[in-house]
Amino acid sequence: MPTITPSLWFDNNLEEAAQFYISVFPNSSIEQLSRYTDAGPGTPGEVVSGTFVLDGNRFIGINGGPHFSFTEAVSFHVSCKGQREVDYYWDRLSEGGEESQCGWLKDRFGLSWQIVPDRLQELLDDPDPARAAAATTAMLGMRKIVIADIEAAVRAS
């Protein structure tokens, strides 16, 4: 079976982004960085591309410049076991970036992330339609997902 690896286009800050991401996710590392040589086309020594691993997930990056930027059309979903993990990833990844709603954020490099507790799907899929609706309504009013607040909304329904 072929390997599918996300390839990300950075605005000449791949090395900084990779260093940041490996500081956020456990079991992560930069595998390699390729640098321009005297042959060009970039400045010798500057990073042109590289690979990094975030908790077992491999990514390829390229310093392509400002021609293309990230959009919410592509995001990375981080499944969290509980509120402590949600808080950790939300706080780290949103630092210098932008908070959105329903657990979405853009990091300081413009990459979109969904920070989602596993418990959220259970609440949204409640077999009681009123409870599921209460969970959905509560989630829609949030930026960072707060499990206790959604559970309280479900109990009150």
Domains in the chain, please, with CATH? 1-69 (3.30.720.100), 70-157 (3.10.180.10)
SS3 for the chain, per residue? CCCCCCEEEECCCHHHHHHHHHHHCCCCEEEEEEECCCCCCCCCCCEEEEEEEECCEEEEEEECCCCCCCCCCCEEEEEECCHHHHHHHHHHHHCCCEECCCCEEECCCCCEEEEEEHHHHHHHCCCCHHHHHHHHHHHHCCCCCCHHHHHHHHHHC
Instruction: Select from 72, 70, 134 the least CA-distant residue to 101.
Output: 72
Q: In the numeric block, which tokens belong to residue 29? A: 């590392």
For the stretch 63-112, pLDDT in tens is 999 999 999 999 999 999 999 999 999 999 999 999 999 999 999 999 99
For the stretch 112-150, pLDDT in tens is 999 999 999 999 999 999 999 999 999 999 999 999 999
With cut-offs at 50, 70 and 90, classify the pLDDT of residue 37. very high
pTM to 2 decimal places: 0.93
pLDDT at residue number 151: 98
pLDDT at residue number 42: 87
pLDDT over 90 (residue 13): yes
Mean pLDDT of 12-33: 98
pLDDT over 90 (residue 40): no
Instruction: Select from 10, 107, 4, 75 the least CA-distant residue to 49.
Output: 10
